[in-house]
Amino acid sequence: MADNKRPASMERITTSELANAFIDEQLAALRAQIGDKKVLLALSGGVDSSVVAALLIKAVGKQLTCVHVNHGLLRKGEPEQVIEVFRNQMDANLVYVDAVDRFLNKLEGVAEPERKRKIIGAEFIRVFEEEARKLDGIEFLAQGTIYPDILESGPVKAHHNVGGLPEDLQFELVEPLKFLFKDEVRVVGTALGLPANMVYRQPFPGPGLGVRCTGAITRDRLEAVRESDAILREEFAKNGLAGKVWQYFTIVPDFKTTGVKNDLRAYEWPVVIRAVNTRDAMTATVEDVPFSLLQHITERITHEVPGVNRVLFDLTPKPTGTIEWE
Ligand code: XMP
């Protein structure tokens, strides 16, 4: 356990100078740990794995292989950004795995939320394992574990663990961020030159849009989640809410309601907007989004997203509602 306790002497990283000192220290430590060996990293494009990737690219360059699994439940533009930033700009070894069909086929007809989560988690391990087996001589597995994952202090599920890999694929762990809090990871990420929209991303659950396409996921309804989420994010960014609201997203429930489009009856899905603030995700309050902005977003979603004729705003704090809908 001593290994897993943040040293009392460790100063809180709040400035770019402190971040640069941390980076220098970690580069030396990573080079000492890894030597000339090879490291593997599951790179989701989330804040933590992105910062680990940027550190390791600096420390050991092409000795690092990043594996980005697109499970089809990512937000609009995310896989493209991972490829652009890490392969094109940082010149990393990046294996991009298009596993969209594989995940969506496995999830077909599965309505129960915890089963959906289990399938997504298990399939992720399987895809990652297959990629790991294709690579020779990997000795280390890097993970974006951060201090709250170790403390397990909140209901934000520990997701930084490619645990579940079979016995013969046990690597030595490399966890350079394990004593950092989220705000510190962001300062370090900025100092490493990662784009602000990657470093200041809102939390995103491991099962991704899968828990926002309630019940059994269908491809067309999943696209409605992705497109409406992209519109919401664009409008929040334009109107100064992106940096202010803790988490905001859309849900498309698995039922339709009657509406009218172009003078014709349109039996289509509703989109639900959720925008909440919290410190630790244990409780949450609803953001007071300006009504005129909600009207504008409604106008856009109902006109731009196929299959949607209605928009609702979720007024429920946590408790009684959880942040996600499933
Ligand atoms: P709830 O819905 O429980 O969510 O109020 C609290 C926070 O946890 C995130 N969340 C998840 N994160 N895997 C994750 O990595 C999950 O299965 C999961 N479920 C919820 C949620 O987005 C919110 O920030």
Per-residue model confidence as pLDDT tens for the chain (326 residues): 457 899 999 999 999 999 999 999 999 999 999 999 999 999 999 999 999 999 999 999 999 999 999 999 999 999 999 999 999 999 999 999 999 999 999 999 999 999 999 999 999 999 999 999 999 999 999 999 999 999 875 554 455 566 788 888 889 999 999 999 999 999 999 999 999 999 999 999 999 999 999 999 999 999 999 999 999 999 999 999 999 999 999 999 999 999 999 999 999 999 999 999 999 899 999 999 999 999 999 999 999 999 999 999 999 999 999 999 99
End-to-end CA distance of the chain: 34
Task: State the pLDDT at residue 161.
Answer: 60
| Under 8 Å between Cβ of 59 and 90 | no
**What pLDDT does 159 receive?**
53
CB 316 near ligand 1, within 6 Å:
no
83 CA distance to ligand 1 middle (Å): 26
Ligand 1 centroid to Cα of residue 137, in Å, is 35
Q: Which pLDDT score, from 0 to 100, does residue 166 have?
A: 87
Q: Which atom of ligand 1 lies closest to the CA of 321? A: 5
Residue among 44, 117, 157, 159 to mutate when testing ligand 1 (max atoms within 8 A of CB): 157
**Tokens matching residue 164:** 């579940």
Q: Where are the alpha helices (DSSP H) in 135-177?
A: 147-151
72 Cβ closer than 6 Å to some ligand 1 atom: no
Which has the closest alpha carbon to 301: 236, 227, 212? Answer: 227
Find the radius of gyration of the CA atoms of the chain.
Answer: 21
40 in Cβ contact with 135 (< 8 Å): yes
Rounded to two decimals, the pTM is: 0.94
Tokens 């731009």 sit at which residue? Answer: 304
Query: Which pair of structure tokens corresponds to residue 40?
Result: 């593997």
Q: Which of 206, 144, 132, 135 lies closest to 173, judged by CA?
A: 144
Cα distances (angstroms) measured from residue 291 to each of 62, 222, 318, 323: 50, 27, 22, 21
Distance CA(218)–CA(102), nearest Å, equals: 14
Kindly give the distance from the C-alpha atom of residue 12 to the centroid of ligand 1, in angstroms, as a whole number.
26
pLDDT of residue 157: 45
- Whether 318 lines ligand 1, by a CB cut-off of 6 Å, is yes
Residue of 77, 321, 314, 106 lying closest to 210 (CA atoms): 106
Ligand 1: residue whose CA is nearest its atom 8: 156
